[in-house]
Structure 1
Amino acid sequence: MSKKNKILLAIIIGSFAIAIILVYFFSNNKKNIPTDNTDQNSDKQSTLSVEKIADQIMLFPAISPDGEKLFYFSDANSQFFSFNLKTKESIALSERLEILPEQIWWSPQRDKVIVRFTYNKAVAEKFEGPFADLNMADNDNAVWLYDLLNKKASRLSSNIENIAWSPDGSKIIYHYVDFENNFDNIAIANPDGSSWRKLADVSYPLGAKLGFISSEKVFYYQYTGSEKEEIAPTQKTEIMIADIETNKTEKILDAESATGIVFPNNNNSLAIYERIKDDSFSLGIFDLEKKEVKDLDFYADLDRITILNSKLIAISIDNEKNIIHSIDLKTGAKNQIMTNKPLPLSVDDWLFDQEQGIVYFTSGYYPYRINLTKDNL
């Protein structure tokens, strides 16, 4: 072999050896590269099975107060039903209504519903159902209260944009907006719309959240500006509290840093909220009495937050994996719960059984559940 060929062979062997070393180095170090914030957001991890509980489509589901039934609307039957979780039996709660609901707000006792739909005058008059109204025009925005016990319906104002029920089901609060006549306020009324009164004038983001903190207080969002034509997507909003008896209002948080808020059951002095911190989403606790903020050192892009068994439950949904985060509000301990199979989920249909620790949700409008115990929480 010539000297030139020996040098060429040495170069080839040396290059091959270097390539092997580099492959080994990167393959071993790749395992140590963090791909997400799992370690930061959890002290332990667990995986739970997802159980499909029925082969029937359930629209706008709600869980009964005792956790034994699911209530839902059937598009195929145009009826409301209850589904017994033990016997798997469905019972019709209404006649055929001939409507296509766009939104439904269930009362806490599940004996009444408020329904929003587009009014079909020809269908309503042909079937002479409970929603037939000679004063409504075709394609009107229709908002009705339907009593599932006496099968009677009461028409509400079509200018109602958001609705929340009081804990005892005796009142509703809502955003009333009529830009043509310059009405924009938060109001409270009986469920059928009677005995209404204004709680606060607002410049309110359409579709923003509002709700009862307790039987005495409500919260809502509002724009910082007052003139409608000055409202811009970049304008800041605030989260407000209103006293139902006195109508006194108070700002508690700037919505620029609080994107979602939930109040623990039976504790209206604390607010759990999601905020933007260091260009990430972070969870915190706001003490309404002390006006103090406690950071939970938890960073994630969340879809839902709630309180279950005295623990904060936060849900992240994506196409590859669905994660349930549990945070003990007393100790700060974190747990990350993975589902055993990814499913396309509807974030609006997550239901929580506070007593049993069960999470219900829909995928493709079919109902599923995950059992959360004290051990895996």
Structure 2
Amino acid sequence: MMTVVSCITNEHNLLLVLIAALICLFGSAVTLRLLHRGASASGGQRLGWMFLAAVAGGGGVWTTHFVAMLAYEPPAPVSFDPAMTVMSLVIAMVGLLISFSVSALGVTPVFALAGGALVGLSYSAMHYAGMFAYHVVGLIEWQFGYVVISILLPVLCSAISVALTSQRQLPMRHFCWSVALLVVGIVGLHFTAMAAYRVTPLAGSSPEIDPAAILALALAIAIVALIIVGTGLASYLIDTNVRTDSQEKLRHMAAHDALTGLPNRPNFTSHLSRLVQEAGGHDRKFAVIGVDLNRFKEINDTLGHSAGDEALRIISRRMAQCLQDDEFVARLGGDEFAAVTKCASRSEVSAFSNRLAEIFNRPIR
């Protein structure tokens, strides 16, 4: 443990380490949110969410690794193999897509644990592929014990994290634990592996590092990663808003009359039940007024049902507009309505009735 801590504090640029950690935290949170959304979907939608989670997760962990590599300050000149560097990104994304798909195969926790373990292996494969792209002019030595620990740590943390996230209900407490475990796995993988990586510079070689250039490159990579991860987050937020709006519309449709927009009979019954409970417990009064339109059938018979529907809409709109506080009106069906008001005396009920009656005395064009 002390070797890992010493590696971080003595051999890394701590500002870039902090940037890498923040990217890791943000990327992990977005990835797990997308994964949980995919676990509750089905068919093509599930595959789409898993793909977004893999892209966001792969981009986030690759950027964490790359920025942390730029933070490493070896005692010898370094360079990067572009092809292998890009390959490590592909390994991360493809590996996560396969891993997330495995975690969503069944309803038992075994699949989630297996998929989570594959997530950890994907992270490890990405990291060591990136290390192959990291060329140092010097003698390289690996400490095998730290290599094993660096692989086992993300496997264990990711397995638990994905298992928690794959639950149908995800309380905020469990989500926070999942994010924390995933971050610990990723950060632990990188810095434990770096503790296993020992460089002995060749005679006459000296590092040629421009700190400003390294910082600029790291920030550029971080911005690109945030765009990738942010795209996944935006998709999640848009979907959440659309689902919320759809649920609100469905709830409104279930409680309101489709023709007039007034509360329907079930809504009226529910409202009346609440008033009965309030009146019984607090000695309060309310009045219910039934409204039935006389000769309404003549409108349908002489002018057609479309004219009758328009008449109902106009009357309903007028009644809704005349309501005051603690007043309620609903369409029970056909040409039958019901109005409810809280009251303290008969005079208040009469005033409410007269206000409603005035609506039916006005002409309807």
Q: Which has the higher helix share?
A: 2
Query: TM-score interval w.r.t. the shorter chain?
Result: under 0.3
TM value normalised by structure 2: 0.20
Larger radius of gyration: 2
Greater per-residue strand proportion:
1
Query: Normalization by structure 1: what TM-score?
Result: 0.20
